[in-house]
Chains A and B, each alone.
Chain A
């Protein structure tokens, strides 16, 4: 399967925080041919392990974390008339919701829309106010009675946004954050089958990054890696985005720089990228947080952690847009980085 097909398959799969299983199964299917062991753990983390060629007593491990979960919506109430009230899971921007096509993931999947009152029926000035979550609802065209056996409080609602190829190798879909990171896991494992590497690689599609970082916290505790790298998305360029906060699409994978990341890992990622002519940019991140690196760094007695990201436009919307070249570069960087890991590097990480 080509990279874009893998990404389509992953973004087509549903996996709201806490309900990642369908997306996890896709990751397991994709990663299996390149792994020695695959499993989904009790919290919904999907794990693929590829053993390195090391022969010593201590087996060195690197953990790669790309989060599996996506933001979404959940049913809170079914009103007379069959209108379904909803709440958000994760940081969704409510201003994007009116006029979206949705699927209510009940016992039967129902097509619906998030209602938007036509201009003809609005009061003067009404269109100047953002519609708050309490005033939004999903309409399937069905009555309360017709919904009774299909939808209940807690049923998930997925915003429909078909995987779309734009121009110049750009792709747009819901849940690129962070299925793009998950596809990097698959592609890195695939590339490692063609390259010698000593360390064991634990590629984890983590659960619940968007709400608590649960997946990274628990898997890092369990696996006790020597190094961890989080793979996420970061702010792309676009109108209204300050240049110093944006990482242009197509200018390469970003390497995280800041207190959340071990300086020697940041440096080695930069060196590997430069030596191998992998297009990259530096993302300055002065506050820890916002990615799995936050939990990884302080697991047990501390894990030296790094972050690589893919520039993404329109984050946390239904039209998250990226350039596939940046995804490839991210996998290439990780693959070469992993192949260069040795005991000496691991020992240096405690020397400041």
Chain B
């Protein structure tokens, strides 16, 4: 079994490269092809069985110990992005948003379109020509410029998905990149698949989480586990605000455990297991203190006769924008907390 590094020590080169690959990959909800292939290549040597279903969820089965006990770990592969819905004469590319993106982060960003990753820019009227207080430009009035002079299918076509052209960088403990929601969770799950467990582990890399937890719904039904954990990159709200509201999570203070959100009330036994393990093993952790948003647990816990589920997340600042920040120690501790807790799941059965 792989021994995990202590919080605060250097992240392993392998993990950093993995996170870089995951963050840079494209996988807008509904078009998770590239990220799925990357994860598939990564996990195939680690598990007993790899398969996909009708929506493109990726399953990894790892057998061990008690094969009557099944634990599901899910992390969603998809990311928020854009979807080409119209190309104007002159080659101006119009788009719709996929997932919750604030219109205000779109202006003046570089993007990559479609499978060929055609570079484009989200253009805008120069400030000189805008006139006074012109307000927020809605995404329907925004466009992507690829340098096209006409409707050139090779450059962009209706139905192409678009990602932000943000490249992963590490600067000390701080990792910067796009789509940490939920490539952070994917990274944690891949790391966990390297371990061995006293039960059948079913890792699921889900699709279409950002469109309403849709992949997790059928995956939860299919896997029909005894327990489920969703692994996430969650909002770190520890940033300046006018009002004094307590932050959702703090970056750098350990993995966040969800006790409740809009989609689920976490299973009490799993919650106790995680907290108890974190305390025993001296792993820093925090509770997610806002109850907004939903994760795959929300879909999974409703399947069949009900599946005890919980979410563990790496705090990420600025999710759903072109570029986020996360702390590598939080990532390492999320892996460690899950690793140690999973060993104890049989106690609950």
B is bound to A: yes
Stretch at the interface among A21-29, A124-132, A261-269, A330-338: A124-132
* CB neighbors of B among A260-317 (8 A): 290, 313-317
The answer to whether A169 touches B240, judged by C-beta atoms less than 8 angstroms apart, is: no
The answer to whether A101 touches B235, judged by C-beta atoms less than 8 angstroms apart, is: no
CA distance A167 to B100 in the complex (A): 29
> A125-165 CB contact bits vs B (8 Å, 1 = yes)?
00111110001010111100000000000000000011011
How many A-B pairs with Cβ below 8 Å? 207
Stretch at the interface among B20-28, B50-58, B67-75, B140-148: B140-148
Query: Quick check: is A223 within 8 A (CB to CB) of the other chain?
Result: no
- By a CB distance below 8 angstroms, the chain A residues around B266 are none
Query: Among the interface residues A113, A241, A318, which one has the most CB atoms of the partner chain B within 10 A?
Result: A113
Q: How far is the CB of B183 from chain A (nearest CB, A)?
A: 16
CA distance A128 to B152 in the complex (A): 34
Query: Quick check: is B280 within 8 A (CB to CB) of the other chain?
Result: no
Query: Quick check: is A96 within 8 A (CB to CB) of the other chain?
Result: yes
The answer to whether A113 touches B107, judged by C-beta atoms less than 8 angstroms apart, is: no
- By a CB distance below 8 angstroms, the chain B residues around A83 are 239-240
The answer to whether B105 touches A116, judged by C-beta atoms less than 8 angstroms apart, is: yes
CA distance A84 to B316 in the complex (A): 18
Stretch at the interface among B4-12, B124-132, B184-192, B298-306: B124-132
CA distance A166 to B325 in the complex (A): 28
Query: Quick check: is A89 within 8 A (CB to CB) of the other chain?
Result: no
- By a CB distance below 8 angstroms, the chain B residues around A165 are 119
Q: How far is the CB of A137 from chain B (nearest CB, A)?
A: 6
> What is the chain A residue whose CB lies nearest that of B250?
A81
Given A93-B124, A239-B123, A118 and B108 touching (CB < 8 A)?
Answer: no
CA distance A256 to B102 in the complex (A): 40
The answer to whether A116 touches B102, judged by C-beta atoms less than 8 angstroms apart, is: yes
The answer to whether B110 touches A162, judged by C-beta atoms less than 8 angstroms apart, is: yes
CA distance A128 to B109 in the complex (A): 19
Given A98-B102, A116-B104, A161 and B110 touching (CB < 8 A)?
Answer: yes
> Number of B interface residues, CB 8 Å?
69
Partner of A172, one of B110, B126, B155, B325: B110
Main secondary structure on B side of the interface with A: loop
> What is the chain B residue whose CB lies nearest that of A315?
B126
> What is the chain B residue whose CB lies nearest that of A164?
B119
The answer to whether B108 touches A239, judged by C-beta atoms less than 8 angstroms apart, is: no
* CB neighbors of A among B206-261 (8 A): 235, 237-242, 248, 251-252
Given A120-B293, A166-B120, A319 and B110 touching (CB < 8 A)?
Answer: yes
Q: How far is the CB of B267 from chain A (nearest CB, A)?
A: 23
CA distance A240 to B237 in the complex (A): 36
> What is the chain A residue whose CB lies nearest that of B103?
A127
Query: Quick check: is A91 within 8 A (CB to CB) of the other chain?
Result: yes
- By a CB distance below 8 angstroms, the chain B residues around A166 are 119-121, 145-147
Query: Quick check: is B17 within 8 A (CB to CB) of the other chain?
Result: no
- By a CB distance below 8 angstroms, the chain A residues around B237 are 117, 121
The answer to whether B173 touches A141, judged by C-beta atoms less than 8 angstroms apart, is: yes
> What is the chain A residue whose CB lies nearest that of B321?
A99
Range of interface residues on chain A?
35 or more
Q: How far is the CB of B318 from chain A (nearest CB, A)?
A: 5
Partner of A79, one of B118, B240, B242: B240
Query: Quick check: is B158 within 8 A (CB to CB) of the other chain?
Result: no
CA distance A142 to B318 in the complex (A): 15
* CB neighbors of A among B70-110 (8 A): 88, 92, 100-110
> B304-333 CB contact bits vs A (8 Å, 1 = yes)?
000000000000011111111101000000
The answer to whether A113 touches B102, judged by C-beta atoms less than 8 angstroms apart, is: no
Given A119-B100, A239-B123, A316 and B318 touching (CB < 8 A)?
Answer: no
CA distance A204 to B120 in the complex (A): 32
The answer to whether B147 touches A169, judged by C-beta atoms less than 8 angstroms apart, is: yes
Given A127-B102, A319-B123, A99 and B318 touching (CB < 8 A)?
Answer: yes
Query: Quick check: is B3 within 8 A (CB to CB) of the other chain?
Result: no
The answer to whether B123 touches A313, judged by C-beta atoms less than 8 angstroms apart, is: yes
CA distance A116 to B321 in the complex (A): 7
- By a CB distance below 8 angstroms, the chain A residues around B327 are 141
> What is the chain A residue whose CB lies nearest that of B325?
A141
Query: Quick check: is B176 within 8 A (CB to CB) of the other chain?
Result: yes
Query: Quick check: is A55 within 8 A (CB to CB) of the other chain?
Result: no
> What is the chain B residue whose CB lies nearest that of A128?
B136
> What is the chain B residue whose CB lies nearest that of A85?
B240
Query: Among the interface residues B101, B126, B130, which one has the most CB atoms of the partner chain A within 10 A?
Result: B126
The answer to whether B148 touches A111, judged by C-beta atoms less than 8 angstroms apart, is: no
Q: How far is the CB of A11 from chain B (nearest CB, A)?
A: 13
The answer to whether B123 touches A321, judged by C-beta atoms less than 8 angstroms apart, is: yes
The answer to whether B128 touches A235, judged by C-beta atoms less than 8 angstroms apart, is: yes
- By a CB distance below 8 angstroms, the chain A residues around B109 are 99-100, 318-319
The answer to whether B123 touches A238, judged by C-beta atoms less than 8 angstroms apart, is: yes
Q: How far is the CB of B79 from chain A (nearest CB, A)?
A: 13
Q: How far is the CB of B342 from chain A (nearest CB, A)?
A: 28
Partner of B149, one of A135, A168, A235: A168
Q: How far is the CB of B132 from chain A (nearest CB, A)?
A: 12
Partner of A317, one of B107, B136, B149, B320: B107
Query: Quick check: is A105 within 8 A (CB to CB) of the other chain?
Result: no
Query: Quick check: is A245 within 8 A (CB to CB) of the other chain?
Result: yes
Query: Quick check: is A211 within 8 A (CB to CB) of the other chain?
Result: no
Partner of B129, one of A135, A168, A239, A245: A245
Given A120-B100, A166-B146, A137 and B118 touching (CB < 8 A)?
Answer: no
CA distance A96 to B165 in the complex (A): 16
The answer to whether A118 touches B235, judged by C-beta atoms less than 8 angstroms apart, is: yes
Query: Quick check: is B44 within 8 A (CB to CB) of the other chain?
Result: no
CA distance A143 to B43 in the complex (A): 36
Query: Quick check: is A115 within 8 A (CB to CB) of the other chain?
Result: yes
Partner of A96, one of B124, B147, B171, B324: B124
Q: Can you give 7 contacting A-B residue pairs, CB < 8 Å?
A: A95-B136, A99-B106, A101-B176, A137-B240, A162-B165, A165-B119, A319-B145
Q: Which 6 residue pairs of A and B lie closest in terms of their CB atoms, listed nearest first?
A: A170-B147, A99-B105, A166-B147, A319-B121, A141-B174, A96-B108
Since A116-B104, A141-B251, A314-B121 are in contact, a sample of 12 more A-B pairs with Cβ atoms closer than 8 Å, ordered by chain A residue number, is: A95-B136, A99-B321, A115-B317, A118-B320, A118-B321, A161-B110, A168-B148, A238-B123, A239-B123, A241-B129, A315-B128, A319-B123
